[in-house]
Amino acid sequence: MVSGAGSERRQGRNVRGQGERLRGTILAAVGRLLGEWGSAEKLTMRAVAKEAGISAPSIYLHFPDKAALVWAALADEYAELARRLVEAGASGTGGDPRAGLRAQAHAYLRYAAEYPGQYRLMFETPQPHVGPARITGHPAGRVSAAFRAAFRACEEAGHRLSVPLPQAAQTLWAGLHGLISLDHSIFGDESTEEMNRSLAEGLADSLVAPEPGPAPTFRSAPAATPASRRISQLIAAGDEEEPGAAPDA
């Protein structure tokens, strides 16, 4: 009886191991196709199956649709970017949360400069569209969560924000992405790292008061704006749908 139970456990482990290997094979195939095409537009289950050397139906055992495939293939990259942001915000800032926010902005620009092709896949090429409730589970949510944490640290240290916290984080993220996209599409070599860092710092500084406490030239943010309410709704929807899951967008 004992040996039979042990055999069943081993078989269960083998099945799980085979499933994990198949999942890895599928994601590797997706990564190769995304890298080759520079876009998810041509990606199909059939194309992935052909690249991976498997049957298309077997993909559905792990991924329900194209969006899940693309998100999973890029999840590690979003996680790595978020890790760099958190690390930058905590390193060498002397406990100054405002300096930590600037450091995060620098780290975001640096990642895009070091991995331009990967950045384009993550943020500049169209991904499969999903509904509002599902978008909160996008792995890029780790990035927005890192920015929100940095702004929260500023608030907790007494620095006023010019807009509500969720809106501040989204504004900084959008602004940094805009700098990078302009470089990729228009400015190219005319832009410089020093110029972009300066622009990023100016954007961050416009969102956080320079000193804790009352700031004569820096009015307190309203409790909420239409933009901040919408962002907060998306955050809350993600928290309700997947408790304990990765930070949401």
- 8 A C-beta contact, residue 211 and residue 109: no
DSSP string, 98-144: HHHHHHHHHHHHHHHHH-HHHHIIIIIS------HHHHTT-TTHHHH
The whole-number pLDDT of residue 47 equals 92
Q: What are the angstrom distances between the C-alpha of 84 and each of 63, 80, 105, 110, 244?
A: 28, 6, 11, 10, 22
Architecture of domain 1-63: Orthogonal Bundle (1.10)
Domain ranges of the chain: 1-63, 73-241
pLDDT tens for 9-42 read 443 444 456 778 898 899 999 888 888 887 778 8
1-63 matches 73-241 in fold: no
- The topology (CATH level 3) of 73-241 is Tetracycline Repressor; domain 2 (1.10.357)
Query: Which among 209, 88, 210, 74 is positioned nearest to 149, based on CA atoms?
Result: 88
**In Å, how far from its chain's centre is CA 228?**
19
Question: Could you identify the residue written with the tokens 């800032």?
Answer: 93
The whole-number pLDDT of residue 193 equals 79
**pLDDT at residue 5 greater than cutoff 70:** no
- Computed over every residue of the chain, the mean pLDDT equals 83
Q: What is the DSSP-derived secondary structure letter of residue 43?
A: -
- 8 A C-beta contact, residue 151 and residue 170: no
pLDDT tens for 136-188 read 889 999 999 999 999 999 999 999 999 999 999 999 999 999 999 988 888 76
Distance CA 154, CA 159 (A): 5
